[in-house]
Amino acid sequence: MEVTENGICGYELNNPDMDMFDTRILAVHGPCGDCDFAGTCLTPCESVRCLTPKKGNLVELGRERTRGARITYFAVLEDDKASFVRLSEPDHYWAKLTPIGQDQVPNWALSRLNANKHRQSA
């Protein structure tokens, strides 16, 4: 498990919580290449976007592959609070970030988070 300094990146990645994440554009392709509003516009502009938490640390908990998509689980750790998100990267569509509850995080991913907490407190 590692703290992710670059943020969560994906093709046409949405920002599900503007209070939690800042959006950064890595690359813009196609006709929107000269647009000053590519990071906030809702019109698809063929961009690679990265989201970084405004507060706390972003930790990747692990990845799995489902039929047609790559799924990555993350935790945003701030003080003693953890928020969870799931990144879905379909093979032929835009990436999507979804806030999820702890009960929606697989046990194998939560065990990585809990193991890291025990190592830090020892």
Tokens representing 66 are 């489902």
**Domain of 38, in residue numbers:** 2-121
Q: How far is Cα 72 from Cα 62, in angstroms, rounded to an integer? A: 6
Counted domains in the chain: 1
Q: What is the pLDDT of residue 49?
A: 84
Q: Poorest-confidence range of 35-39, 80-84, 113-117? A: 35-39
pLDDT band per the 50, 70, 90 thresholds, residue 106: very high
Residue closest to 95 by CA, chosen among 69, 75, 117: 69
pLDDT band per the 50, 70, 90 thresholds, residue 83: very high
Tokens representing 21 are 């994440």
The amino acid occupying position 76 is V
Say yes or no to pLDDT of 116 above 70: no
Q: What is the pLDDT of residue 18?
A: 92
The amino acid occupying position 12 is E
For residues 2-16, average pLDDT: 77
Q: What is the pLDDT of residue 3?
A: 46
pLDDT band per the 50, 70, 90 thresholds, residue 96: very high
pTM, to two decimals? 0.79
